[in-house]
Structure 1
Amino acid sequence: MNGDTKRSAAVRVRDAFENILGIPVPVRVRCWDGSVSGPESAATVVFRNRRAIRRVLWSPGELGLVRAYIAGDLEIDGDVYALLSLPELVTRVGAFDVRDARRALGGVWELARLGGVGLRPRPPEVEVSRRRGIKHSRARDASSVSHHYDVGNEFYRIFLGPSMVYSCAYWDETAKDLDAAQHAKLDLVCRKLGLRPGMRLLDVGCGWGSMAIHAARRYGVDVVGVTLSREQAAWARKAAAEAGLSDRLEFRVQDYRDVDDGPFDAISSIGMSEHVGDAALPTYAAALHSLLRPQGRLLNHAIAAVRTRDPGGNDKPGLIQNYIFPDGEILPLSRTVDAFEQVGLEVRDSEALREHYALTLREWVRSLQESWDDAVASVGAERARTWLLYLVASALGFEEPGRLTIHQVLAVRPADDGTSGVPRTRSQWLAASKTRELDAAEAP
């Protein structure tokens, strides 16, 4: 007891976590009493008060640390990437893997003596409350989408930039910055869909309308965009009016399952199917199939798990489920492809964009950090911290192969005679579409 009191709080905290996790903790710790422990060159975790310890003990693993950081009880001093890029540490914290139970209990006891005993701290205000209703019902999906997207359009503009595109950009040889890369992505989708003047496009999960506006302006199509976010729809309608395209664009606050005015010549779904869920994926595939005309194309752009996850893994408490995408599910690519093929869609192409998303996320983080004060003023410190942690962790997740990836899957609804209407090679249909795009751009 007397020996423990002579050691600083930082030394005791660091030793306790090493005992709990069973590995050396390669970070620097600074505590509420000003004490410091750990290598000077390492990323520094700051325990601003004893409540941070209580959060960890009441919610062991990822959730407790996330709550402490978002609430401001715990801070990261220096490079956030440096801390979150320690794979063994992050994996061990997330799973709370204990190799030596006796030693781990000693670490828990040490944290308790440091101030971990007490009432359970209230979760940060921005945390999703207990979910009610049937998972992926229309009402519950609308609530989940509203939690993520209806936090203020100005906040998203701060880190998305003028493009207002909240999905992986396409960093081709023409993309010199984020806006150019997002333009290239939207153009790539249009080309894969074979858009041309007079076509009718359904944009599922239309966001702030960027894809719809690009398709109408550059390819001369009429677009119906659907979203469950009222704030997104309001922004999209205003942007369409400012572009002089209101007569070509319709934005609805509507569930994709309620769209009944098909057929459409093409459907784009960009960064939306992650909200659908495994159980509802067959419904999603069938609905889009029914809305396509024969030879109509579907472009599904979505994050994918590299390997099949454990049942219920998508519902694990932590940053994603409690703060970012409640009810969101990241599925293997094979699961999506199978769902499409089961309803009669023919998958013609799949392109992996993993490295592209890592670059995109890095740009979003840079923009958010550069405008940090504006972000906090817009949505508050808790929500700003939430997004920073999420974007940094996601960037690292896409940079390391074997964790996350993202695919653009192109599918077609074949005609009754079996024809697809898709040229035989990728170069043929991309070149043909590019020619149509240039013609449309030159039109008055």
Structure 2
Amino acid sequence: MPNNEITQLIDKLANSVDIEELAQRLGLSIKRSGGAASTLCIDHNEENPSMRLYPRSNSDKPHYHCYVCGAHGDIFTLVQKVNGLDFIESVKWLASVYGYKQTTSATKKRSVVSEKKKAQSIEAINHTAFEKALNIFKENSPPILIKWLKKRELQTSTGNSAELCVTTKNSLVNHVINSKNYGESRELLGQLESAGLIRSQYTEPSNVSSTHLDIGARYRDFFYDTRIIFPIRDITNLLIGFAARKIDDSSQTPKYLYSPGLPKSQILYRAREASLKINEFVSNGDVPILYVCEGLLDALRLESLGLAAVAVLGSRASDNQAKIVIHLAKTLPEITPLQVRIFLDTDSAGLKGAASTIQALLKHDAERRLELAFVWPTTSHEDLEKIAKDPDEFLKKVTPPTTAKDLLDTHPLRSCSINLRKT
């Protein structure tokens, strides 16, 4: 739910600030003609003012519009562009200039001088934006998601557990546009832009209403087409971003897009779920086994079969990801080693990635909490092109969890600890 205090502050500012007076405060020269106020456009260089300033009316908020380049926005956008601020900073600036108390935690945090505190505040705002975006994505899910899961031969329960959902073209921007409350929609727009989930884009002047404020007119979603959304959470269950897979494999768009700033090399997809699973194994008297694979679907395929798995979201594990695996091992009783099976794609990059991953794990396993091996579903190099290319494909036709476990237990495992262990 939107922060009521921020929403109310946004509404108060939008209902009281005179945009012409604000423009003058920002150092813009005003030219009046026939009762209308114009100024030089803030988005392009020009000699004659083409940016019209529209005051608040009973049916609209104060805003500006350039008749040459189509620049369009409200008082917050104006402050952002002229002063080089983000949305929350523009709210804070306006509240200070026009004498409104900043009682919200978000605006107070932004007033802290410390760069570290400022960065933490931005992260908190982004996490809030991610959660709000996830709720919007979930509104689009059935029946597209159900159809896609069936095509991938995954159970609906797997999709639910992983919080899979769908985004269609401009899901987020359309949600903002269709919101009936200006304060809520403006706050959400600012948060989504700060998190990189929506981006401004050039819009032909004729495509934007000049006399009416359209806050979503110059924006598009970062995930610009219909995609399956994979929420990415860290080991503490904090939502830190998204991966988005295209549904139509025949299209020329990238197969995967990741939300801007997602620290892929510092996280393991499904690490929290894997931690719970390996500890469940120990509680039941079973051997704790963790599979380390490359892709999102690889991890979910193994997880759907009752196995503990994480994905490195690349061809090899980084040092930070290796440290997370060590952390998972340390959640187990000290006398119980964690069996880690590297299960990457069956190509030359996967083979090199497996060796690199095991080296990273051994480098950080000072207390020898791991037992390492890698899964390679072939017995000869000549068979390489005949086998499944990844764990998802290899296990797709395996349904009972016991069958999958038996298959992987009896399948040749290449032990790497002897050759790569530090001496």
- Tell which structure's C-alpha radius of gyration is larger: 2
Same fold judged by TM-score > 0.5? no
The structure richer in helix per residue is 1
* TM-score, normalised relative to structure 1: 0.29
Q: Which has the higher contact order (CA 8 A, sep 6+)?
A: 1
* TM-score, normalised relative to structure 2: 0.30
